[in-house]
Amino acid sequence: MFSLFRSGSFCRVLCRSSSAGQFRGPAVGSTGVALVRQLSAAVRMDFESGQREMTTTDGVRIVYYDLGEAKAEETIILVPGALGFSQSDYEPQITELSKDFRVLAMDPRGQGKSRPPERDFPQDFLRREASDAAQVVEAAGAAAGKVNVLGWSDGANIGAIMAAQRPDLVKRLVMWGGNAYITQEDVDLYNAAADTSTWSPRMAEPFVKVYGADGLQKMWTDWLKAMQELLDAGGDICREDAKKVTCPTLLLHGDKDGFVPGFHAEFYRKTIPAPLQYKNFPDGKHNIHLRYAQEFNEIVRRFLRGEVVGETSH
């Protein structure tokens, strides 16, 4: 999931003001924008040389990128959010963290370059994507027990499921912007941005470039439908999986995230039984890894080295 709202109090929380009244997406800030622009050309070159693909056990082709220190002892896998893909969600992390780690950046099935197939959202799609992520790690030959999972939004939930289901693979988990269950409040937030034509050009452009305007609208509508179906089925995403996460976990949260309210981060904080560290960004919104890219990357790097970077639990 990611912040896609244009009206009411949610826009005031998530967006900068806009004289045109358009939804502008999460405010990255001048430093973050400059960093992303500086990184783009170099990252694209690395992506071209690092592109790989594998086929899942159910026959789906997944594109991923194998970047950074090939001989590094540990591997990072980056799991994008809803509709997102490696370059749209993680350019600053790929550039910085690949200096010290081997980085696997995947385009989830039906997203980015992992198309076809057309994106679909069955009720178990996040659990299915957790299996896909584990298969990418194995196909890349990453050492079992040496894999660090970084997940944003939907990717955070996928990461929690993967850590719970494959403790043999996952060494540490870093998650932010996720939610282990869906409430009516959440669905109302999502539906506030149902019409993708109201998104600002800056927000929509990366997705329109890959999916086309009609394709973006269809994919987003299908995702909204999937969220409503999850709510109707009881709202559970991975509450039970959260109880089974045993690897050291770093949970980050933007206090001004208007897309994923703070009670979701608090649930993960209270429920995950593993040694957990919590780090909040007082002015952060949903995209703390982009808005505060340099600080975020350094926090993650230190955590993966075994340092204390936030409030400890358990």
Q: Which of 66, 257, 264, 289 is catalytic?
A: 257
Comparing CA positions, the residue from 14, 157, 12 lying closest to residue 82 is: 157
Q: Which of 253, 264, 286, 289 is catalytic?
A: 286
pLDDT at residue 26 in the model: 38
Q: Are strands 249-254 and 147-152 parallel, antiparallel or unpaired?
A: unpaired
On the CB side of 289, CA atoms within 13 Å amount to 29
Counts for the chain of helices (H) and strands (E), in that order: 12, 9
Note the pTM of the prediction, 2 decimals.
0.88
Comparing CA positions, the residue from 91, 77, 121 lying closest to residue 294 is: 91
Q: What is the CATH number of the domain that holds 97?
A: 3.40.50.1820
Residue 180 in domain: yes
What angle separates helix 29-50 from helix 86-97, to the nearest 10 degrees? Answer: 90
List C-alpha distances in Å: 226 to 75, 154, 297. 32, 13, 32
Comparing CA positions, the residue from 19, 76, 2 lying closest to residue 291 is: 2
Residue 120 has which token pair?
A: 């679909």
Residue 314 in domain: no
Spatial separation of the C-alpha atoms in residues 269 and 276, rounded to whole Å = 7
- The yes-or-no answer on residue 107 being catalytic is no
Residue with tokens 């790989």: 52
Q: What is the pLDDT along the chain (314 residues), one digit of tens a residue?
A: 553 433 333 333 333 333 334 444 433 344 444 444 445 555 555 677 899 999 999 999 999 999 998 889 999 999 999 999 998 999 999 999 999 999 999 999 999 999 999 999 999 999 999 999 999 999 999 999 999 999 999 999 999 999 999 999 999 999 999 999 999 999 999 999 899 999 888 789 999 999 999 999 999 999 999 999 999 999 999 999 999 999 999 999 999 998 899 999 999 999 999 999 999 999 999 999 999 999 999 999 999 999 999 999 86
Mean pLDDT computed over every residue of the chain? 88
- The yes-or-no answer on residue 66 being catalytic is no
Instruction: Quote the domain boundaries for residue 268.
Output: 8-305
Residue 3 in domain: no
For residue 98, the one-letter residue type is S
Spatial separation of the C-alpha atoms in residues 12 and 293, rounded to whole Å = 22
Angle at 84 between CA 233 and CA 27, to 5 degrees: 105
Residue 2 in domain: no
- The yes-or-no answer on residue 286 being catalytic is yes
Residue 83 has which token pair?
A: 């509709």
Q: Which residues make beta-bridge pairs with 176?
A: 152, 252
On whether the CB atoms of residues 108 and 81 are closer than 8 A, the answer is no
Q: Which of 153, 154, 186, 253 is catalytic?
A: 153
Spatial separation of the C-alpha atoms in residues 271 and 115, rounded to whole Å = 36
Q: Give per-residue pLDDT as tens, 51-72.
A: 999 999 999 999 999 999 888 9
Count the domains in the chain: 1
